[in-house]
Amino acid sequence: MLCIFWGVLTEEQKNLVEYIFHTHHVKFINISCKIVKTEPLANDAVATAYLKIMDNIERISELPCPQTTAFCVTIVKNASIDILRQSKRNAYVDSIDVFAEKSSDNFEDAFIQKQNIQRLVKLVHLLADEERYLIHMRYVQNMNYAEIGAMLGISEESAKKRGQRVIKKLKRLFERGE
């Protein structure tokens, strides 16, 4: 697809895309990494962003230099958020060891603890996608509620409240033996 975009661009537009790449590529990767938290996803997001940049190159070429950078950064951020939203559909919480205490003195305690963790993981899989994603961000990716709120486009307090509701729901399910 990149070749199709590249073939349609004028020499001046190609030079602008190359300039943006050489000047801002590392910055784009860093911005995307902060959002998606992994380098492979950041690379995917930045590649998608370059396609969008080429798609909007006429608009970008008309902007003054500082606005060009801001426009491209916005494209990178949006592409990163889109990648993150796509990956959340595939986010499964398979390792919820954070709920388990690390110190077990005997075999019975360790066995019961492992059974409880397995039961908890099954309960997490019963949650809605949004709830499971919130659990994944909070306990697997160790994100705070401010970061979660930013990812979901809500306030920190709303993210915290959603987190509390999900934990209460899990606790109810666990206590009922579901």
Q: What is the pLDDT of residues 119-143, one digit of tens each?
A: 888 888 888 888 888 888 887 778 8
At residue 75 the predicted structure's pLDDT band, cuts being 50, 70 and 90, is very high
Last residue of a domain, one of 55, 88, 121: 88
First vs last Cα of the chain: how many Å apart?
48
- Residue 100's pLDDT band, with cuts at 50, 70 and 90, is very low
* The two structure tokens encoding residue 53: 């940049």
Percent of the chain with pLDDT over 90: 22
At 73, the pLDDT band (50, 70, 90 cuts) reads very high
Cα angle at 81 between 80 and 82, to 5 degrees?
90
pLDDT at 97: 45
Kindly report the number of other CB atoms within 10 A of residue 27's CB atom: 14
- Same structural domain, 125 and 62: no
pLDDT value at position 162? Answer: 92
Q: In this structure, are 157 and 109 located in the same domain?
A: yes
Q: 121 or 11: whose pLDDT is higher?
A: 11
Domain count, the chain: 2
Domain interval for residue 13: 2-88
Torsion of CA 150, 155, 159, 164, to 10 degrees: 160
